[in-house]
Structure 1
Amino acid sequence: MSEADLTMNSAYLHITMNKTIEGSRYTTIPEVDSTPLVADLTSEILSRKLDLQRFSMLYAGAQKNLGPAGVTVAIIRENWLEKASKKIPEIMRYETFAKNKSLYNTPPVHTIYLMNLVLKWVVKQGGVEQLEHQNSEKSGLIYDVIDASGGFYQGIIEVNDRSHMNITWRMANEGIERQFIEESEANGFEGLARYRSVGGLRASAYNAVSYEACQALADFMIDFARRNG
């Protein structure tokens, strides 16, 4: 995507950097320098190094890589904040929270405290660059099994656009997918079934998911293919 793809005089461009359902992501940030760029980084923040200066605004729900659900991080350029509408209710304006240091009303203190602990944990891991390396290795364990399965597991997304947070694949038919899900649950894996509306399977490998957990899933997938292929 580039500036040429946009409607003339667009107010802004909004993108979702990582699509959790499909298992895809923007490998690079779109080049739209003359149009304000807004991004949902909910499932990407802290997972890899990104040039945040490229965005006029970004936001992220905490529930993927920042902490428990219930708080959202929003980062916005001051010169863009000044242009925001004054017609919406005061409590709905980002300007209100910026001026009051996010204390305009009672904040979710416990959730913010837990997010603070997660941020300290990130630093102890070696920062975002180290987490990016770990996430590449973790997702690579599962993608390698998919790619080496001879079609038993079928990747959904083009290799260059694959997410490191959400690994998706399909199998030959719904029957073998149901068997895979049932056996995986019996072996301690949870949540591998994608939404019914899209089908297939998905493994999420957010920052808190260990290398060992991804290795265990990869080993299970290899064994399942050996027994059922």
Structure 2
Amino acid sequence: AAGAVGVVCIGESIAAAARARESAAAHPGFAWHTAGVHPHDAADFDLARDGDAIRAELARGAVAVGECGLDYHYDHSPREKQRAAFAAQLAIAGELRAPVVVHTREAEADTAAMIREAGEARVLGVLHCYTGSHALAEIGLAAGWCVSFSGIVTFRKWDDLELLRLVPEDRLLVESDAPYLAPVPDRGKRNEPAWVARTVERLATVREVGAERLAEITANNARRLFNLARPA
């Protein structure tokens, strides 16, 4: 991860969270982990089993709940199961004052309603790898959430430059989504965390700010959202 100042390893399942914890433990002060159940696996979500496992990971240093949310594009799990699993994880986040990492795809109305409810409960989070509407982004922002962009914004077909300008400076995050979504010119290859620098460069160009400054801003925003220690 040369060039990166820190990495948050996403646990999109209980097993993945345990692996992410082990990876983070090998790089203290540089890497952290999260714990949650992805909407693809919501059909098998068990509140007692998985809820307790998420709580246990948070007790062992996980910095957020997730990746959780709603995915109506693939519909790998029934939508009512997705909503139930998402609601349960938002409740855990509220209970333990942890932020959430949220995946949403073609589920904007339900995501918006659940973000509003979470906001009323003062749950904070991030819309991860965001490619959705301006309206949903604004609902997240109104709830105090962050919006994160990935290498997708470097792709030739990405043309929603206004979305990249819409997010206020203090709510802007960047991510690699490695090993997926490698930015141009390495699109299609296995992504690397360090390549997030290209996403920063693209955002900096669109927002007319220096890349180093934008890197500093987004790193500080991540530290604040996830309550990460600053490097010594």
TM-score range with shorter-chain normalisation? under 0.3
Query: RCO (CA 8 Å, sep 6+): is it higher in 1 or 2?
Result: 1
TM-score (norm: length of structure 2) = 0.25
Higher helix share: 2
